[in-house]
Amino acid sequence: MDMLKDEVNIMKELPPNLKLLDVEAAGSLITDADLSKEATPDEYIEKILPLLLRNRVVHFLGYGNRLGFDPLPYELQRLRCKCNFHALKFVPEIQQIGSLLVRRIRRYDFARSTLDKQLLGNLIPHVPLRHYHAAEGPSKYLALHLRFEIDMVAYSMCEFGGGETERSELQTYREVHFPLLLERLKKSKPLSPQELRKTGKCPLTPEEAGLVLAGLGFKHGTYIYLAGSDIYGGQSRMQALTTLYPNLVTKEDLLTPSELAPFRNFSSQLAALDFIACATSDVFAMTDSGSQLSSLVSGFRTYYGGGHAPTLRPSKKRLSAILSRNKTIGWHSFEGKIRKMIDEGQRVQVRGLGRSIYRHPRCKECMCRH
C-alpha cells in the first residue's frame, strides 16, 4: 500500500454507509462473464464506470488476467510493472522459510543481491549457519525447473520410451483429467508422437535436460536445485540426470517435515518457495518456456538481475533436431550446437506487442527511469 499510495487511492474497508450494500442486488458484482478476457480500458469505461458512479462501489469476483493485454496506455502499463515488481511481496512466513532454503542450498550466509533483498526483505541473517560450513559447501548453484509431471506429459500426447505400459497409463490419465482434449482430438487429425517431437511440442525429459547442461559445460560436481513436483517415472526416470549431476537437491531434501508442514497443503505456497530458490540462483535453467513459474522467474531475473542473472532457455524444436542425429554427431559438435542454441535464446530483445509484461519486462514502461 505504501508503494502505491501516490498512484491510486487505497481503502482498507468500505465507508459505513456502503458496508451493508448488497452489491449483487445492486448490480455491482462483476464476474469473469461480464468482461471479455482481453478487455481494454475502454470496455471498463463503458461497462464498469457507470456502475461505479451509480452505486459508488463495484466488486470484481474472479478477475483473472484483467487489463493484461496490449495495447495499454503508458501509465497503466507502468503501474502494472510497479505493482508486480515492487509492491507485491511474499508474506513473512514464506520469506522466512525461503531465506532458510536459500541459505541451506548455498550452505552458508551469502551476499545480499538486489534479487535477495527484493524477495526476502530483511529476513536474511548475517551469521553463518551452524551446521553448514563455507569450506564444505558450494558458493554458487544452478536452479532447474524440470516441467515433467504427469499432467504435462499426458497433455503433450508425446511418447517417452515407456512402450505400451506408458501409453496405457497416460491415456487413462487423459480420460480422467483431460476429457475435452480427447473430444477435440476425435474431431481432428492429431500429429503423431514423432511429428510432435520434431516440431518441439514435447516436454524435455530429465535425460535431455542433463544433456543440455553437460553440453554447456556444467561439471559433474555442479550443485543443482530442482524445482517442481513429482517427476513422471520417479527415480528410474531421474537416474540419468542424477548420475550426471549427483549434487541435486529439492526443497524436501533441505527443509525438515516440520518446516514444510505449514505449506504442505497449499501448492501455490510450495511453488513460492521454488520461485525464491530459482529467482536467487546464480543460473536458472528451464525446460519449458511456457511454464508460468519459469516465465515469471525469468521476468523477475530480467528486471532485477542487472544483466548478471542468466536464464537458460532450450529450444525444444532445435534440441529435437540435434538429438535426432545422436548416432552421427560427435560430442564436440554437440556442445557447439547446444551452446549456439542457448546463446540465441539469451539475446537481449525488446518486449514484443502482446507478450506478458511480467514475463518480458524489457520495455520503456517497466525498466526506464523517470
pLDDT tens-digit readout, 61-82: 877 667 877 778 889 989 988 9
Q: How confident is the model at residue 117 (pLDDT cuts 50, 70, 90)?
A: confident
Pair (169, 107) in one structural domain: no
Q: What is the mean pLDDT of residues 199-218?
A: 96
Type and span of the H or E element at 336: helix 331-345
- Statement to judge: residues 224 and 130 lie in one domain: yes
CA distance linking residue 270 with residue 160, whole number of Å: 28
User: How many domains would you assign to the chain?
Assistant: 3
The whole-model pTM stands at 0.84
* CA 188 vs CA 155, 180, 181, 191, 224: distances in Å: 16, 13, 11, 9, 42
Give the span between the Cα atoms of 345 and 285, in whole angstroms: 12
Residues 143 and 284 occupy one common structural domain: yes
Model confidence band, residue 134 (pLDDT cutoffs 50, 70, 90): very low
273 domain-assigned: yes
- Whether 84 is in a domain gets the answer no
Residues facing 59 on adjacent strands: 29
**What is the predicted pLDDT for the residue at 111?**
54
Residue 367 pLDDT > 50, yes or no? Answer: yes
Q: Quick one: 5 and 59 in the same domain?
A: yes
pLDDT over 70 at 289, yes or no? yes
Residue 75 in any domain: the answer is no
Which residue among 196, 211, 226 closes a domain?
196
For 273-283, how does the pLDDT look when each residue is reduced to its tens digit (9 = 90+)? 999 999 999 99
Least confident window among 128-132, 143-147, 248-252, 316-320: 128-132
270 plus 308 within the same structural domain: yes
pLDDT in tens, 25-69: 999 999 888 888 788 899 999 999 999 999 999 999 877 667 877
Q: Tell whether 222 is covered by a domain.
A: yes
Q: Kindly indicate the confidence band of residue 172, based on its pLDDT and cuts at 50, 70 and 90.
A: very high
Whether the per-residue pLDDT at 190 is higher than 50: the answer is: yes
For 185-236, the three-class secondary structure string (H helix, E strand, C coil) is HHCCCCCCHHHHHHCCCCCCCHHHHHHHHHHCCCCCCCCEEEECCCCCCHHH
Residue whose C-alpha cell reads 475435452 in the numeric block? 180
> Is position 85 within any domain?
no
- CB atoms closer than 10 angstroms to residue 305: 17
Q: Which residue has the higher pLDDT, 133 or 306?
A: 306
Mean pLDDT (the chain) is 88
Lowest mean pLDDT among 16-30, 132-146, 197-211: 132-146
For residues 330 and 131, which has the higher predicted lDDT (pLDDT)? 330
Look at residues 69, 84, 111 and tell me which one is the last residue of a structural domain: 69
Predicted confidence at residue 124, as pLDDT, reads 60
Query: What pLDDT score was predicted for residue 112?
Result: 61
Whole-number Cα distances in Å, 121 to 65, 112, 114, 288, 309? 27, 10, 10, 29, 19
Determine the Cα–Cα distance for residues 9 and 1; give it in Å rounded to an integer. 9
pLDDT greater than 50 at residue 135? no
CA 88 to chain centre: 16
Q: Based on the fold, state whether residues 248 and 176 are members of the same structural domain.
A: no
Residue 126: pLDDT above 90? Answer: no
Instruction: Give, for 126, the enclosing helix (H) or strand (E).
Output: none
In which domain, by residue range, is 161 found? 151-196
- In a domain? residue 176: yes
| Contact between residue 116 and residue 110 where contact means Cβ atoms under 8 Å apart | yes
| pLDDT at residue 69, as a whole number | 76
pLDDT band for 270, please (50, 70, 90 cuts): very high
Do residues 336 and 207 both lie within one domain? yes
How much of the chain exceeds pLDDT 70, in percent?
Answer: 92
Residue 77 within a domain: no
Decide if 262 contacts 100 (C-beta within 8 A): no
pLDDT at 335: 95
**Whether residue 241 sits in one domain with residue 133:** yes
Verify that 2 and 110 share a domain, yes or no. no
Same-domain check for residues 223 and 334: yes
Neighbours of 125 (CB within 10 A): 11
Confidence of residue 119 (pLDDT cuts 50, 70, 90): confident
- 168 and 277 housed in the same domain: no
Burial of 311 (0-12, 13-18, 19+ CB in 10 A): buried
Which among 18, 36, 69 is the end of a domain? Answer: 69
Evaluate if residue 368 carries a pLDDT over 80. Answer: no
Q: What is the mean pLDDT of residues 265-278?
A: 94
Mean pLDDT of 276-294: 92
Instruction: Please indicate, yes or no, whether residues 167 and 112 belong to a single structural domain of this protein.
Output: no
Long-range contacts from 116-123, C-beta under 8 angstroms, 24+ separation: 116/280, 118/85, 118/304, 119/90, 119/95, 119/276, 119/279, 119/280, 120/95, 120/276, 120/280, 121/89, 121/92, 121/95, 123/92, 123/95, 123/96, 123/98, 123/99
Amino acid found at 309: A
Distance CA 294, CA 218 (A): 20
What residues have CB less than 8 Å from 180, skipping those under 6 apart?
A: none
Strand order in the sheet with 283-286: 248-249, 224-227, 142-145, 283-286, 311-312
What's the chain's Rg over C-alpha atoms?
23
Q: Which residue has the cell 516441467?
A: 147
Q: Does residue 80 lie in a domain region?
A: no
